[in-house]
A and B are shown apart, each in its own frame.
Chain A
Amino acid sequence: NAGVTQTPKFQVLKTGQSMTLQCAQDMNHNSMYWYRQDPGMGLRLIYYSASEGTTDKGEVPNGYNVSRLNKREFSLRLESAAPSQTSVYFCASSTGPVTEAFFGQGTRLTVV
């Protein structure tokens, strides 16, 4: 049982480049989330999807877009990467809006 799978695990981008972070879960969860984790800070919510077909902004959405492709997959896109987006990105999923969240292994992104 894979749980939440993120790809890639590591990525280096040049300023202005674009890329998409992929996330897939095999637990039949309805809700999915994208977080970023920076040194000395708690995880911060970028975007979330309460259910298939819906997406909403979180605490720090600027510079990002998301797509809930189907129930399993939730992608995060950086259209024009900036050094401030250097971070570790985590995807998570949960059965519903108040149930336990399960996290992926993370994507370490560096923007130079």
Chain B
Amino acid sequence: KNQVEQSPQSLIILEGKNCTLQCNYTVSPFSNLRWYKQDTGRGPVSLTIMTFSENTKSNGRYTATLDADTKQSSLHITASQLSDSASYICVVSPYYGNNRLAFGKGNQVVVIP
């Protein structure tokens, strides 16, 4: 069964500090990997989407990396802000389509002043 494991499950960081979230997956064959941000009580919103051949992609203060050989991805948040408090979900798309997306459980990030 395709699986996506995220770590840490939750973390608390001080405003202005950086943090890195990890995602390991076993999905194969692989089409793309996505990171979503989900604010409390809201739907997931896409941050980045990377194909097999991409190693890094940025969206403002968010930078995602992908190592397809080791099946690992990370999401780095730079100079965190209070609005970064959310769950960050790693989603892996297999080759055969969105109906088989594998969702991680999310990294719960709390930014404190």
* Chain A residues packing against B (C-beta within 8 Å): 4, 31, 33, 40-45, 48, 50, 56, 58, 90, 92, 94, 97-106
In whole Å, how far is A59's beta carbon from the nearest beta carbon of chain B? Answer: 9
B43 pairs with A42, CB closer than 8 A = no
A-B CB pair tally, cutoff 8 Å? 57
A102-B105 contact, Cβ under 8 Å, with A48-B99, A50-B99, A56-B99: no
Q: Produce 1/0 per residue, B86-97, CB < 8 A to A.
A: 000100010011
A105 to B39, CA, bound (A): 10
Contacts of B4 in A (CB 8 A): 42
Contacts of A101 in B (CB 8 A): 46, 98, 101
Q: Produce 1/0 per residue, B32-75, CB < 8 A to A.
A: 10101000011111100100000000000000000000000000
A42-B97 contact, Cβ under 8 Å, with A90-B43, A102-B46, A105-B43: no
A25 to B36, CA, bound (A): 19
B31 within 8 A of A: yes
Kindly report which residue of chain A lies nearest to residue B104, judged by CB atoms: A42
Contacts of B106 in A (CB 8 A): 42
Contacts of A100 in B (CB 8 A): 34, 46, 49
B99 pairs with A98, CB closer than 8 A = no
A106 pairs with B99, CB closer than 8 A = no
6 tightest A-B contacts by CB? Answer: A42-B103, A103-B43, A97-B97, A43-B103, A48-B99, A103-B44
Kindly report which residue of chain A lies nearest to residue B41, judged by CB atoms: A106
Contacts of B34 in A (CB 8 A): 100
A94 to B49, CA, bound (A): 14
B31 pairs with A98, CB closer than 8 A = yes
B99 pairs with A58, CB closer than 8 A = yes
